Amino acid sequence: MNATHADIELRPVDRFNVDAILQLTVAPRQAQVVASAAVSLAQAHYEPGAWIRAVYQADRPVGLVVVFDPRDPDAEPDPIMHPGDILLWRLMIDRECQGRGYGQQAVQRVLERYRQEDGVERILATYAPGPQAPKSFFAGLGFKPEGQDDEGEIVVARPIRLRDGEPVPPASSGDSGGPGRT
C-alpha cells in the first residue's frame, strides 16, 4: 500500500536516532548512485547550507534527505545553481521500504517547507545516468531535464510552488521548523 500524505514526516537527526539512520541502506545496485547514510551525514555536517532530515513513516526511520540551501552566507553554490535555486542534494529510502511512495512524499515535504520561504523559486536534483537512474521518479514529481553538470550527471529542476493544474496536497503535520543543521 502506498503512503498517504500524512504518513511521511521529516525529522531532525539527533543523538537518539542517529544510530538508526546509519543503518539505512539502498540496494547494492543503487549504492553507486547515492552516498551511504554515513557519508551523507558527515558531509552535510561540514557543508554550510546543508539541511538534513530523517524521513519517518509513523515512528520508523525509512530514509534520509539532504537539501543544499545557498542562502546560508557561507554556502558555496554549485555552478549548476541559479539565484532562487535550492538543491535536493541527497535522497535515499531504505531498500526495505522502497516502492511505497515514501520517496515521493519526502520530496513533497521538502517542497512544502521551502515554498513558504522567500527567495526560493526552484529545486534542482542530479543523478547519474544509467539503468538505475531515478528518471521516472523525478519526472513523476514534475522535475524537467536541464542538461548535465560538469561530472556528467543529469540535472533536473522544478518550481518550488505548485504548477498550474497540480493537485494541492493536504496540510502536513510533519516538521515545519526553520532552517537549521543537525
CB of 135 to ligand COA, least distance (A): 6
Asked if residue 136 binds ligand COA (CB under 6 A), the reply is yes
Supply 53's cell numbers: 532530515
Residues binding ligand COA: what is the number (CB under 6 A)? 21
Strand 144-148 versus strand 8-11 pairing type: unpaired
Instruction: Name the residue whose CB lies closest to ligand COA.
Output: 103
Asked if residue 36 binds ligand COA (CB under 6 A), the reply is no
Task: Pick the stretch among 5-13, 29-37, 46-54, 143-151 that binds ligand COA (CB under 6 A).
Answer: 29-37
Place of cell 547514510: 37
DSSP 128: -
Asked if residue 25 binds ligand COA (CB under 6 A), the reply is no
Q: What is the layout of strands, in order, in the sheet containing 85-93?
A: 8-11, 50-57, 60-68, 85-93, 122-127, 154-159, 144-148
Task: Give 3-state DSSP helix, strand, coil % of the chain, rounded to 5.
Answer: 25, 25, 50
| Comparison of 119 and 139: residue with beta carbon closer to ligand COA | 139
Task: Pick the stretch among 42-50, 67-75, 84-92, 113-121 that binds ligand COA (CB under 6 A).
Answer: 84-92
The C-alpha atoms of residue 82 and residue 60 are separated, in whole angstroms, by 36
CB of 73 to ligand COA, least distance (A): 26
Asked if residue 99 binds ligand COA (CB under 6 A), the reply is yes
The C-alpha atoms of residue 37 and residue 65 are separated, in whole angstroms, by 9
Which residue in the set 34, 37, 86, 156 belongs to the binding site for ligand COA (CB under 6 A)?
A: 34
Asked if residue 49 binds ligand COA (CB under 6 A), the reply is no
The C-alpha atoms of residue 31 and residue 12 are separated, in whole angstroms, by 24
Please give the residue ranges that form the binding site for ligand COA (CB under 6 A).
26, 30, 33-34, 90-93, 98-104, 127, 134-137, 140
